[in-house]
Amino acid sequence: MPRIPISQYGYNFIEQPYVPAGEDEYYVRNQQITEWNCTWRHLTDLEINRLEQLGNTCPNWNDVLVENPIDIELIKGNSFYGLVRIGSMQPFVVGHHDFFIPEGIRYSHIVSCDIGRHSSIHRCGYLSHYIIGEFAIIHEVDELDSTNHAKFGNGVVMENESEDVRIWLGIMNEAEGRKILPFASMICADAWMWATYREHPQLMQRFIELTNKCKDTRRGYYSMIGEHAVIKTCRTIKDVNFGPFAYVKGANKLKNLTVHSDEASPSQIGEGVELVNGIIGYGCHVFYGVKAVRFVMGNNSNLKYGARLLNSVLGDNSTISCCEVLNSLVFPFHEQHHNNSFLIAALVMGQSNMAAGANIGSNHNTRGNDGEFIAGRGFWPALSSSIKYNSKFAPFTIITKGDYPNEMNIPLPFSLVSFHEKNDCLTVMPAYWWMYNRYALERNDWKFRTRDKRKRVVQHIETDYLAPDTVEYIVHAMELLCLWTGKSAVDSGLYKASTDQELKEIGKLLLEDTTKPFTGDVYAKGLERSSSPTHIIKPCEGYHAYKEMLIFFAVKTLLRFLDENETVSGLQALEKNIHEWTDNHEGAKDSIQGPFVNLGGQIVSERMVMHLAEDIVNGSIASWEQVHERYDVWWIEYPMVKLACALRVLNMFVSQSTVAESWNDFITIFKNLCDLNASEVLKTRKKDYDEPFRKCTYRNLEEMTAVLGKPEENSFVHTTAERMEAMKSLAQRFFSWA
């Protein structure tokens, strides 16, 4: 173990080779507190004598500087080493909620720190190389120190460090074939783009270069505790930057972290927590025995009750409790609350919920641990679901309870997936959510919008279940239903066909015939890695449900635009508006073309993503900040993208006429769908009340009503009814408008 004279203790934080000519070891530290605008002075002999009488010690009082006004009586029982600078302190108390403590420094061991005005440091066993903001509280902390090569969770290497110490995140694949570098401003969109387009080596190299720019790699940065932050009753804290108003209580170990926080979005870390190598977003909460290593948490996210988050990125507005999440990229609005569920090597695109016993990642079937899993937004595996890798699911897929023996690739959105062990057959019901659980669909959209409390919005999020991405999936699903139905009809001897196009035409003819619906069994291959075909349940009903969803999306989108743009008169004017926009905005023509991708929650044409990739490679985009600015531009233009998509959808349903000629028919259908939406939401809610086994725990209807209330009085049922009436009124305003 090294042994140095006490006179050298607290000095030489930066080794001499890393101190630029003409500077001293404090040059970086001084830059960090420029905004303090402090005028430091030396202590007087009387002050030094009084400090020593108060139990303070220091081998070199010349290196203890203070700012006026200062009450020396507030500094008791401390040991000071190195250059210590103390801001103004007066006989007042500072506090957080019901915890109050006097300003000053008491019974602490302090090595080379800058202590802000009116802060309170009490019983800190070891406080080394920290910059502490004004009005901060540090109480009963065993160890709080910094190294001269602190990275604060960023995936960089400091001056003259080996690449071996760089921190990578192995997301979406345990074998780390998609590893990325974390940085303080990372959002899910960045992580997804980096982990996805691996076939572009120049882009991968540029991502590394952009990340290297995110953190000054000079040695000598002190860790910082922001103003009004509170850190109490903790054990070990090392190389952690805490933003203003952060609150930390009872943590076991915090190492190499950035904790974003401010007055509007304070982040909190609670009892028994151990966090290493991570980035914590604004307004996050990490409580009660959580373990997280190599991670990024988006804004307003939560880890609670012993959750384990390793090698993963967790999106904004998400909560993980109790369970285990490894090597995953999880988009915003993810919920996972059960100790017996886990998620490994997965890409889950948000607005998702993992039920108890859901094992996603438990059963690799390759010779290495390199299996992968992709779930579109709205993914919902039921209790005790076990899925084999590699599998992929369209948006809003719900999976019933069961051990699924084979890999799956489900391209039908809003579907219900089941496995019938007796028949050894996978079954899929397309458009299940729309047909049987519209309450959940409508509530999800409402819930996500109302629960988004972020004050800092960097990651843009589409919460509507009907958007360009899901519309694209629906259109493809309808084509597949036509193909599979046509093949089933041909296999049964009813028709003859030799090409897929002929099969689709036969299937569409059968599915469109509402007077005599097709009743034959429909099977599909390629949805499961099995010789047994997948049984498609209710293909005719699903096909027509998809049509309703498309019309509902298109008319709703057009009506909202018209409501906000009253100067537009007539469909021709609307189409002209779109053409002018696409002609006058760079890249606009590509932005309205598919395929659309889910960019961390934001829906974007993949063509635009590839243009961004080209700009990153050629250097015209030179920082992650500029990447985020491009996302912002896309978000501003997104309403026009949705508008163009809506018009394209309506044109699908007119063959012998124009959209303008069919406009009133679309409005009539839309109004009927609004009524159906409201009634289906109520109907779905009433199922909970009409089910006999739901009633069995109540002595009578009065008790049940007292406990649950009436379904028609449910707040969301009421809200949905109001929303649908408002949409109908809006539709009526534009009846005969075309």
pLDDT tens for 21-56 read 999 999 999 999 999 999 999 999 999 999 999 999
Domain span holding position 713: 664-733
Same domain, 627 and 682: no
With residue 380 as reference, give the H or E element that holds it. strand 380-381
Number of C-beta neighbours around residue 564 at 10 A: 9
Cα separation, 310 vs 653, in Å, equals 48
685 and 645 in a common domain: no
CB 355 within 8 A of CB 328: no
Say yes or no: 604 and 669 in one domain: no
Asked if residue 51 is part of any domain, the answer here is yes
SS3 432: helix
311, part of any domain: no
Q: Which of 105, 127, 145 is the last residue of a domain?
A: 145
Q: What is residue 496's three-state secondary structure?
A: coil
Residues 58 and 100 in one domain: yes
Final residue in a domain of this structure, among 653, 673, 697? 653
Per-residue pLDDT at 695: 79
Q: Which of 558, 595, 587, 589 is nearest to 574 (CA)?
A: 558
Residue 307 lies in a domain: no
Q: Are residues 37 and 72 in the same domain?
A: yes
Q: 227 near 133, Cβ under 8 Å?
A: yes
Is the separation of the CB atoms in 53 and 259 below 8 Å? no
Neighbouring residues of 204: CB distance < 8 A, sequence distance ≥ 6: 194, 197, 198
Query: Using alpha carbons only, what angle is made at residue 239 by residues 237 and 241, rounded to the nearest 5 degrees?
Result: 95
Spell out the residues 6+ positions from residue 512 whose beta carbon is closer than 8 angstroms to its own: none
Q: How many angstroms from the chain centroid is the CA of residue 485?
A: 39
Nearest Cα neighbor of 222 from 86, 82, 36, 31 is 31
* 410-413 long-range contacts, CB within 8 A, separation 24+: 410/527, 411/473, 411/476, 411/477, 411/480, 411/527, 412/473, 412/477, 412/480, 412/542, 413/376, 413/470, 413/473, 413/474, 413/477
699 & 620 share domain: no
Do both 535 and 605 map to the same domain?
A: yes
Let me know if residue 459 belongs to a domain. yes
Structure tokens at 107: 């019974």
- 540 occurs within a structural domain: yes
Helix residue ranges, H only, 522-662:
539-564, 571-584, 588-591, 606-618, 624-652
Which are the contacts of 465, defined by CB distance < 8 A and separation ≥ 6?
378, 395, 396, 414, 433, 441, 444, 445
Q: Are residues 450 and 481 in the same domain?
A: yes
Residue 282 lies in a domain: no
Q: Give domain status of residue 213, yes or no.
A: no
Q: What is the pLDDT of residues 533-557, one digit of tens each?
A: 999 999 999 999 999 999 999 999 9
- According to the model, what pLDDT value does residue 365 have? 57
Question: 171-197: b or e for each residue (b if 16 or more CB lie within 10 Å)?
Answer: bbbbebebbbbbbbbbbbbbbbbbbbe
114 Cβ neighbours under 8 A, 6+ residues apart: 29, 33, 36, 84, 85, 87, 130, 131, 132, 222
Q: Examine the domain organization and report whether 596 and 727 are in the same domain.
A: no
| Residues, the chain | 738
Rounded to a whole number of angstroms, the CA Rg of the chain reads: 31
Beta bridge partner(s), residue 224: 131
DSSP code per residue over 456-494: S--S-----SSSHHHHHHHHHHHHHHHHHHHHHHHHTTS
Give exposure, 251-271, as e/b (b: 16+ Cβ within 10 Å): bbbbbbbbbbbbeebbbbbbe
Is there a single domain that holds both residue 638 and residue 679? no
Q: How far, in Å, CA of 565 to CA of 734, rounded?
A: 13
CB under 8 Å to 468, separation ≥6 — which residues?
594, 596, 603, 605, 641, 642, 645
For the record, the structure tokens of 360 come out as: 């996603």
**Is 460 part of any domain?**
yes
Q: Note whether 693 and 563 are same-domain residues.
A: no
Same-domain check for residues 649 and 725: no
Q: ∠ CA(110), CA(112), CA(114), 5° rounding?
A: 90
End position of a domain, from candidates 631, 653, 675? 653
Residues of the chain with pLDDT under 50: none
Number of domains in the chain: 3
